Structure 1
Amino acid sequence: MTDLADLVARSLDPATRETFDSRVREQTDFLYQQFETGALDNDGFAIGLEMEVYAVAGEPGSGGGPVLPTEQSRLHQIPGSIFEDTDAVSKELGLHNAEINTDPNTFDSAGLDAQSTAIEMETAKARAAAGEENCALVLDAMWTIPPDPATVEYLSATTDIDGVRLATNMRTDPRYVAIDNDLLERADGSIELSVPGVEQSFPSILVESLATSIQPHLQIPQSAAFPEYYNVAIRTMGPLVALASNSPFLPADLYTDVDDPFELIERTHHELRIAVFEQSVNVTENPKVRVPEDLDTVTEVVDRVREDDVVAPFLSDWLDTGGGAEYTDNYWEFEHKRGTYWRWVRCVIGGDPVEGAGDERSVRIEYRPLPTQPTVPDVVGLQALTAGLIRGLVAAEHPLADLPWHAAESSFYAAARDGLDADLAWLTADGERTTDPDEIFAEIFEYAEYGLDVQGIDERTAASYLDPIRTRWRTGRTPSGWKKARVREHLHDGIDLPTAIERMQREYIRRSRETESFAEWI
């Protein structure tokens, strides 16, 4: 722990900030040169995915079957062995969190199939590794069954290590701890959470670990075209969040002062994940989690990171960074700073080589507003929808990018609040402004199909990925809507709100393991 405390203290030293800023400025010059010479251009489009999960306690099934959640399962720490048994699983902020990643593939039929297979296999491997420790991984956007002893105690437990505050249930990664200490100091020692039904303070940004997300990636082969794809992506967030919404409730024991639970169900956001993430870390002078501004040129992605508020700077010589073998070692401090550039859409420079689509020098969109879904096919369906839609809108020269930025921003937050009932903003292919959901979602799927077709994915294959998500639009039911309905039904049966939320959550966990996709729940 002494090394941890030392690294955190060095990170928060004003002298480190000066050196860090100087290196970031030097590295932005390198990146400008990379863009100017076309070094970041590639042969084709590529796709990838990150998926966050959380864990609950489990027990072996009958006859020694796989470890499954039980009716008594609560939030559980993920054992360290899971990160040793599979390279595709990485640690996240909370001890109960993990992230499952796919290697990137070409954006074509074979690549999309490979993504689906990879996320299915890696999830199965991760679940098997977790099961060795009687732990079950859950695909969900918000854990709502409280841990022992209770949520506030769990998220508030801290200890001091050589003058550094450490959240007990946070990973002891120096970067996480430094970010927590830096942001907490800026917040005067308290992170405030205010959403319908809950007003609560926490002594750590660990409250952010309530939420889990999926993050599709789309590599753009010609870097000069990146702004066009990026600006279109911003304008798709409202409708896609509405379709994906999956986090209408916080942990049940946080609802201690609700006079009318039925009214709470109406008022609570379909995507509380958005509010939780923004409120847990938006304590700097300029909010770090927000809808990004449009780009005019690709080099602006460098400018935005350089000018962003610095949080918990680290220097490459403090750590074993690979000795210069990786392309990103050319801009290590810049990349470290980008790690806290938490916009809902952001650019990633560099990455893994993709045969047929380029080398490790690339630019890609990281699409961050989507919650983790109930099943792997739901996750891959949203990945296909997101990548196909962004590609299709640009390929068809759709005028969506002409939608005013403020309308796109309002549409995003409306979707987070109201799901499919949100007042969404859109421009049709004819350039007409509309809020008609039938027009909007008809074009969403039309242009996603077009984008997949442009990338060589046939109609039947495209339908196999998109139809489970399309069913949500046709039925008007999303995972968040299902959760609200189930809690409402339990309340009508005379059950109190916390118990109703827990019962809903246990049914969600069971169904997410027993069904192919959420479409079967409707």
Structure 2
Amino acid sequence: MTDLAELVARSLEAATREEFDSRVREQTEFLYGQLDEGALDNEGFAIGLEMEVYAVAGQRDDSERTVRPTEASRLHQIPGSIFEDTDAVSKELGLHNAEINTDPNTFDAAGLDAQATAIEMETRKARAAAGEENCALVLDAMWTIPPESGTVEYLSATTDLDGVRLATNMRTDPRYVAIDTDLLERADGSIELSVPGVERSFPSILLESLATSIQPHLQIPQTEDFPEYYNAAIRTMGPLVALASNSPFLPADLYSEVSDPERLLEDSHHELRIAVFEQSVNVTPNPKVRVPSDLDAVTDVVDDVREDDVVAPFLSEWLDAGSGSEYTDNYWEFEHKRGTYWRWVRCVIGGDPVEGAGDERSVRIEYRPLPTQPTVTDVVGLQALTAGLIRGLVAADHPITDLPWDATESAFYAAARDGPDAELAWVTADGERTADRDEIFSEVFEYAKYGLDVQGIDDGASYLDPIRARWRAETTPSSWKKTRVREHIQDGLGFSAAIERMQREYIRQSRETDSFAEWL
């Protein structure tokens, strides 16, 4: 079956949900058995990365044989040819989005070097492929220069296909359309966005395509240890988001009649990406995008997905999937459901084999709260910081998991709101509770470096230093953006015009510098 409208209609049928739930229950029993038998244990740690980007229109620079954004560049849809020219680039929700992936590597010196090289090379290849269509890819956490049609028009445009309403600028992937249809029905036909300075309604979850992120992955070799690493990872989210914040503004034309721009600048979240994602899809009885609960046992990761609200269920035979040739085919419907288990940290079961670190039967942490960064160096630095910190905290038997879960949640949302100035929460190596940012970040970098050392990465500091520079300067990409907008307003520009000018400066600098540290 390939007809999109029919797939969406069948996904919404009660009979489908009943059969889907039955298969998920059966497949959880398979996964319990795999965990009990140690079938998901592996030889060592492994790392990987996903990086989302968006596109703007570009102009060919024949002298450098490249395509660059111009002062007139606006949001641009990514040509389909880019996905044909490189296997490392995959489609995302919006027609203007793409995701660049690395194959996993062992978590050691050679593996981290391979990750850095891969993300650099794949980004170059993706940019070259996009450039063939006068399109330029941007490393950023949220697009703010709207297309010619305007943001509201772009995100609200719909077409009808045999009774199914499609968001015109969303990819017509059956899964995306089914999720959009299901969530929109639950939301009574309107997705609401409410953040400082903007109150809007949209007829689609395409709103979520405003935001782009990076997702470092860390494979844990012994499944019985997984809860310890997972619970530690949750407690790192506040400090790491505070260091990474990069989305303080929505598209410029969403702001109208700003009577007090200085107040709005102060109130705007450093990571609006968090609010946008949560508000675009949290319409089920139990919010699907949130800080996850702690794990008591590794089997909790199976239970959590099984008990999660069902959205847009598919059956494997509809897509000629689940043939048995892949390990994940043993739990196809479970894996489909996990795809909408949108916690800020989640477990992934199964994956690609990694020489020296195991086969496709594995468990790994997918770390989801971080925004896309200005440069590849910054992206790799955050990948090293994230994996190193989680590994280092557990290897050192650090008491970080003594931090109460509710304090962890509060710190995460404080970081999303206030960036580097957030009121954070931490437990020190001595077991003392602290909110002192210098004390917190000192341990964050100390234990990240320790984690890299434990994995045999002697030059770990070279990866961490670009991110460490932010702590020392008390500046992140989001605070840089806020400062630039403030300066442009003081020079006489309106709020929206100041955002556009800042964004063009950001795009230029992100392409011309090696790391954000050079902007400080």
Question: Normalising by the residue count of structure 2, what TM-score does the alignment of the two structures yield?
Answer: 0.99
**Deviation of 1:2 (Å):** 7.9
Matched with 2:415 is 415
Deviates more, 1:61-70 or 1:192-201: 61-70
* Residue 485 (1) aligns with residue 479 (2): no
Q: 1: distance between equivalents of 2:483 and 2:344?
A: 28
Matched with 1:164 is 164
Question: Could you say what secondary structure the match of 1:192 adopts?
Answer: strand
Matched with 2:514 is 516
Q: 2: distance between equivalents of 1:498 and 1:146?
A: 11
Matched with 1:104 is 104
Matched with 1:379 is 379
Q: 2: distance between equivalents of 1:64 and 1:103?
A: 30
Matched with 2:189 is 189
Question: Could you say what secondary structure the match of 2:493 adopts?
Answer: coil
Percent identity reads 84
Question: Could you say what secondary structure the match of 1:47 adopts?
Answer: strand
Following TM superposition, the consecutive aligned residue runs of length 4 or more in structure 1 with deviations greater than 3 angstroms are none
**Deviation of 1:14 (Å):** 1.0
Code of the aligned partner of 1:128: A
Matched with 1:126 is 126
Q: 2: distance between equivalents of 1:314 and 1:207?
A: 23
Alignment of 1:7-406 (within 5 A): 7-63=7-63, 65-321=65-321, 323-406=323-406
Q: Assess, with a 3 A threshold, how the Cα gap between structure 1 residues 241 and 15 changes in structure 2: closer, same or farther.
A: same
Question: Could you say what secondary structure the match of 1:176 adopts?
Answer: helix
Code of the aligned partner of 1:189: G
Gaps of 5+ in 1: none
Q: Assess, with a 3 A threshold, how the Cα gap between structure 1 residues 14 and 322 changes in structure 2: closer, same or farther.
A: closer
Q: 2: distance between equivalents of 1:446 and 1:489?
A: 35
Deviations 1:194-250 (CA, angstroms, capped at 9, x unpaired): 000000000000000000000000000000000000000000000000000000000
Question: Could you say what secondary structure the match of 1:99 adopts?
Answer: strand
Deviations 1:84-106 (CA, angstroms, capped at 9, x unpaired): 00000000000000000000000
Deviates more, 1:355-364 or 1:64-73: 64-73
Code of the aligned partner of 1:207: L
Q: 1: distance between equivalents of 2:116 and 2:14?
A: 46
* Residue 433 (1) aligns with residue 433 (2): yes
Q: 1: distance between equivalents of 2:50 and 2:90?
A: 10
**Deviation of 1:164 (Å):** 0.5
CA contact (8 A) 2:403 2:426 kept: yes
Q: 2: distance between equivalents of 1:200 and 1:119?
A: 36
**Deviation of 1:498 (Å):** 0.6
- The number of residue pairs the alignment matches comes to 520
Q: Assess, with a 3 A threshold, how the Cα gap between structure 1 residues 439 and 327 changes in structure 2: closer, same or farther.
A: same
Q: 2: distance between equivalents of 1:464 and 1:85?
A: 32
Code of the aligned partner of 2:255: Y
Q: 2: distance between equivalents of 1:62 and 1:119?
A: 25
**Deviation of 1:63 (Å):** 2.5
Deviates more, 1:54-63 or 1:373-382: 54-63
Q: 2: distance between equivalents of 1:365 and 1:149?
A: 39
CA contact (8 A) 1:51 1:214 kept: yes
Question: Could you say what secondary structure the match of 1:63 adopts?
Answer: coil
Q: Assess, with a 3 A threshold, how the Cα gap between structure 1 residues 2 and 44 changes in structure 2: closer, same or farther.
A: closer
Question: Could you say what secondary structure the match of 1:225 adopts?
Answer: helix
Gaps of 5+ in 2: none
Q: 1: distance between equivalents of 2:477 and 2:373?
A: 8
Q: 2: distance between equivalents of 1:241 and 1:465?
A: 17
Deviations 1:339-391 (CA, angstroms, capped at 9, x unpaired): 00000000000000000000000000000000000000000000000000000
CA contact (8 A) 1:40 1:363 kept: yes
CA contact (8 A) 2:54 2:143 kept: yes
CA contact (8 A) 2:2 2:319 kept: no
Code of the aligned partner of 1:299: T
Matched with 2:469 is 471
CA contact (8 A) 1:140 1:374 kept: yes
CA contact (8 A) 1:94 1:206 kept: yes
Deviations 1:162-186 (CA, angstroms, capped at 9, x unpaired): 0101000000000000000000000
Q: 2: distance between equivalents of 1:323 and 1:18?
A: 22
CA contact (8 A) 2:322 2:332 kept: no
Code of the aligned partner of 2:442: A
Q: 2: distance between equivalents of 1:123 and 1:404?
A: 39
Question: Could you say what secondary structure the match of 1:169 adopts?
Answer: coil
CA contact (8 A) 1:142 1:210 kept: yes
CA contact (8 A) 1:152 1:254 kept: yes
**Deviation of 1:322 (Å):** 5.8
Matched with 1:6 is 6
Q: 2: distance between equivalents of 1:54 and 1:472?
A: 24
CA contact (8 A) 1:48 1:115 kept: yes
Q: 2: distance between equivalents of 1:126 and 1:63?
A: 20
Deviations 1:93-140 (CA, angstroms, capped at 9, x unpaired): 000000000000000000000000000000000000000000000000
* Residue 498 (1) aligns with residue 505 (2): no
CA contact (8 A) 1:58 1:70 kept: yes
**Deviation of 1:257 (Å):** 2.8
CA contact (8 A) 1:183 1:311 kept: yes
